[in-house]
Structure 1
Amino acid sequence: MIELDGALGGGQVLRSGLSLAMVTGQGLHIRNIRAKRSRPGLMRQHLTAVLAAAQVCGAKVEGAELGSLTLRFEPGAIQGGEYRFSIGTAGSCTLVLQTLLPALLRAPTASRVTICGGTHNPLAPPVDFLQRAWLPLLRRMGARIELSLNRYGFAPAGGGELEAFIQPSELAPLHLMQRGKLLESRAIALNAGLPAEVSERELKRVGQRLGFDDAQLLSVAIDPEQGPGNLLMLEYVHEHVTEVFSAFGMHRLRAEKVADQAIEQAQEWRCTQTAVGEHLADQLLLPMAMAGGGSFTTPHMSDHLHSNMQVIQRFLPVTIDSHVLEEGGLKIECRAL
């Protein structure tokens, strides 16, 4: 039984713990779940992840209830098949999916997973990030995964739906030291049921600050029934990696400030020569550990990356090291013991 202190980080400690418990067959006991958050304990999306993980591997679970600060999770055998999960709020579908994917890659048969809830909400990767940035790298490692968006779901309404098809796959190490030549870049403003002026102002700000021309500024109108919601994404396609940085429109937040949030994320990455940004770095680590090795460069050590390193090394026979680069940034290296 692996003991984890949830105060080490937020919901990610729980999600990584569940993924690794399923993959390794080791039991998990976690306490102080999301202890440092304003609303500690299991929220709806975390509870959905727990119950979904339990269904995928026939786990015995204690503490699976809203607000619970402790959880005991004893996994059984992973099973592929048809799964459908509903969060019931705008909680993140993508985070629930990322919890299940490592296990389903090791299932004896293929799986189709449908998740209903929020597909585009703050503090979680939007579906577009998974499709354009994360999954292409997993496929390069050998993962056979297809992901489609059936319906948008913005916070606070939710109501979105994504669908993933996962085939059993063996992962191979990936070494991502450089991003390579820039091939194309664009800004994409999604708008569901809000005035067109919102997207126009966001894109205008991007053009002013980043020098993007009209062909690089794309406005996408979504059926208002799938909103209301707004998201600005900056996409950079390089030879070896595609990065996506995003910011969400929110009540009383000016469109220009939304654009600035996405721009500042992108600039932090682009002012270095590192391969992947903060969020992609964190989400590559567990698949690399499952593959028995891998490495990448990233601008800095985020809290999520640091806590994920600690959780992974509790479950898997790997060592994960970080080294400061002379030219700026960090090299993260995962090696089998």
Structure 2
Amino acid sequence: MITIDGSEGEGGGQMVRNSCALSLVTGEPFRITNVRGKRSKPGLMRQHVTAVEAACVISGAECSGLAVGASELTFRPGRVAGGEYHFAVGTAGSTGLVLQTILMPLVLASTPSRLVLEGGTHNMLAPPFDFIERAFLPIINRMGPQVSARLVRHGFYPRGGGRIEVDITPAPLQPQTCTTRGARTGVAAQVVFSGMPFAIAERMLARARHDLADWPEDAFSVRQLPAEQGPGIILMLEAAHSEVTELVSGFGQLGVPGERLARTSAARMNGYLAANAFAGPYLADQLILPFVLADGGAFSTVKPSQHLLTAIDIAQRFTGRRITIEQAPAGEHLLGFS
């Protein structure tokens, strides 16, 4: 049994999610202590419990210690089976992070799956649905499986209530070499909001327009959702290239001016565009599982974060495979899988 100290490295919920996913694929049971030991509120939150429950449901796995607030759990995987599944976080907890836990086991299953996930779709500290759909899943589909996702209803923090539907046609993961992003094919900046004054969205977009001065005027837009889907607001900046799409998001936060959020988001996007890397920091996190399970390939990214290094450590412990990091002369970092 693999034993993991959840306070090591990045010390967050990713360690639980990735461990469940890798356990289901490799058949290795694990025990994790000090769950989310470096967070201000340690222990499992509702979304983590739902993610582990989902892993149990799709495989018949056994898990002890699973409860909101728990700091330790033991997971013994079962056999993953495709099928129709419905999971509800019950709060604004991220549907995307629940999907992250069960997607790789299901794309490697023997039969197709259809998922309905309810909870948060656009909330802080998690990739928004748009990132999953437009940045992450196209790479998974390039590797062999076919995964499509639909946003049925937005779910902002703190209300939640969102819904996404995902169809999965499994196939072996084929190694890929992703080191160049290709020519830019388009850019877009959109503020999506609900239950808030229109003026906030306008100010946020105006700051983004100022800081992304070389983007065309028609790249900027505002989308207002029905009030019952809020309150909430998010700025999404998208840069599409022939080989990859980067999507940077800024979530509205109580007491934080929209202009500040837009300035930070634009700086992150400009930083990515100025680099030569294929993957931004958040896409790099997401790619560790499919690439290590493809048993080969490589991708380039920006400077590795502690979050990425922790994901690499967990992946190597479950698979026994080697992941190397080399800095290229142009500044990007090349991750190799063998």
Q: TM-score, normalised by structure 1?
A: 0.97
| Separation in 2, partners of 1:32, 1:112 | 33
Q: What is the match of residue 213 of structure 1?
A: 216
CA distance in 1, matches of 2:209, 2:67: 47
Aligned partner of 1:5 in structure 2 is 5
Q: Distance in 2 between matches of 1:223 and 1:33?
A: 37
1:228 aligns with 2:231: yes
Please name the residue that 2:85 is paired with: 83
Q: Secondary structure at the match of 2:256?
A: coil
After the TM superposition, list the runs of 4 or more consecutive aligned residues in structure 1 that deviate by more than 6 angstroms. Answer: none
Q: 2:246 — aligned with what?
A: 243
Cα distance, 1:28 vs. partner?
1.2
Contact 1:269 1:277 (C-alpha < 8 Å) held by counterparts: yes
Normalised by the length of structure 2, the TM-score is: 0.97
Q: Which runs of 5+ in 2 are unaligned?
A: none
| Residue 275 of structure 1: how far off its partner (Å) | 1.1
Report the residue type matching 1:131 in the other structure.
Answer: E
Q: Which residue identity is paired with 2:132?
A: L
Moved more, 106-115 or 239-248: 106-115
Structure 1 segments unaligned to the other structure (5+ residues): none
Aligned with 2:324: secondary structure? strand
Q: Please give the alpha-carbon distance, in whole angstroms, between the structure 2 residues aligned to 1:307 and 1:167.
A: 29
Q: Distance in 2 between matches of 1:65 and 1:131?
A: 30
**Matched residue of 1:21: which SS?**
helix
Shift of 1:39: 0.6
Q: Does 1:314 align with 2:317?
A: yes
CA shift, 1:81, in A, is 1.0
Over the residues paired in the alignment, what is the CA RMSD in angstroms?
1.0
Superposed, which structure 2 residues align to 1:51-90 within 5 Å? 51-90=53-92
Quote how far apart the aligned CAs of 1:317 are: 3.3
* SS of residue paired to 1:96: helix
Quote the Cα distance in structure 2 between the aligned partners of 1:235 and 1:263: 10
The one-letter code sitting in structure 1 at the alignment partner of 2:54 is A
Maintained 8 Å contact 1:141/1:173: yes
Q: Which residue of 1 aligns with 2:205?
A: 203
Equivalent position amino acid for 1:187 in 2: A
CA shift, 1:318, in A, is 1.4
Q: How does 1:165-314 map to 2 (within 5 A)?
A: 165-211=167-213, 212-314=215-317
Q: Distance in 1 between matches of 2:301 and 2:111?
A: 35
Pick which of 33-42 and 265-274 moved more: 265-274
Cross-structure match for 1:15: 17
Whole-angstrom CA distance in 1 between matches of 2:149 and 2:79: 24
Q: CA deviation at 1:227?
A: 0.8
Aligned-pair identity in percent equals: 42
Aligned residues: 335
CA distance in 2, matches of 1:280, 1:111: 24
Alpha-carbon contact 1:268-1:299 (below 8 Å) kept: no
Cα offset for 1:214? 2.3
Cα distance in 1 for partners of 2:175, 2:264 equals 33
CA distance in 2, matches of 1:142, 1:218: 34
Paired amino acid for 2:332: G
Partners in 2 of 1:233 and 1:85 — Cα distance? 26
